[in-house]
């Protein structure tokens, strides 16, 4: 849960690097919240709750994706490859599971070496 909160604290921070743990825990908690909201909105027939959540989480999701790409020394513009059906998703998935570049890269210090493990 700390990783999810940490991403929300960096709401629109597109510079720097994000560890795999930060990215994947954010995705996990986002998925769990989305499931809970799906059940809640279907039960009360009020989709505005989900829509508000999706809009609120859009910028932090983009930011953590860009920071994750920075961790493997790729530009955030690689996110646009997601618009290529299937192939784009596979390429981004490979990027997301790849370990970050060791040491400092052009986007900053390695977060594994500078941040305490949670």
- pLDDT given at position 80: 96
Q: Are 53 and 33 in contact (CB under 8 A)?
A: yes
User: Which pLDDT belongs to residue 41?
Assistant: 87
pLDDT at 111: 86
Greatest pairwise CA separation for the chain in angstroms:
50
Q: What is the pLDDT along the chain (118 residues), one digit of tens a residue?
A: 788 999 999 999 999 999 999 999 999 999 999 999 999 988 888 888 899 999 999 999 999 999 999 999 999 999 999 999 999 999 999 999 999 999 899 999 888 887 555 5
Q: What pTM value is reported for the model?
A: 0.86
What is the distance between the alpha carbons of residues 60 and 47, in angstroms, rounded to a whole number? 21
What pLDDT shows up at residue 46?
A: 84
**What pLDDT does 47 receive?**
86
b/e burial code for range 19-54 (CB count within 10 A of at least 16 → b): bbebbbbbbebbeeeeeebeeebeeeeeeeebeebe
Which pLDDT value is given to residue 42?
A: 85
pLDDT at 82: 93
């Amino acid at each position: 849960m700390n990783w999810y909160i940490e991403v929300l604290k960096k709401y629109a921070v597109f510079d720097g690097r994000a560890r795999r743990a930060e990215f994947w825990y954010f995705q996990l908690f986002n998925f769990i919240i989305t499931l809970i909201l799906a059940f809640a909105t279907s039960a009360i027939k009020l989709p505005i709750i989900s829509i508000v959540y999706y809009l609120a989480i859009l910028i932090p999701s983009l930011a953590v994706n860009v920071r994750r790409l920075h961790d493997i020394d790729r530009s955030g513009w690689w996110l646009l490859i997601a618009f290529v059906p299937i192939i784009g998703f596979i390429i981004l998935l490979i990027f997301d599971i790849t370990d970050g570049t060791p040491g400092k890269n052009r986007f900053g210090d390695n977060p594994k070496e500078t941040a305490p493990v949670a």
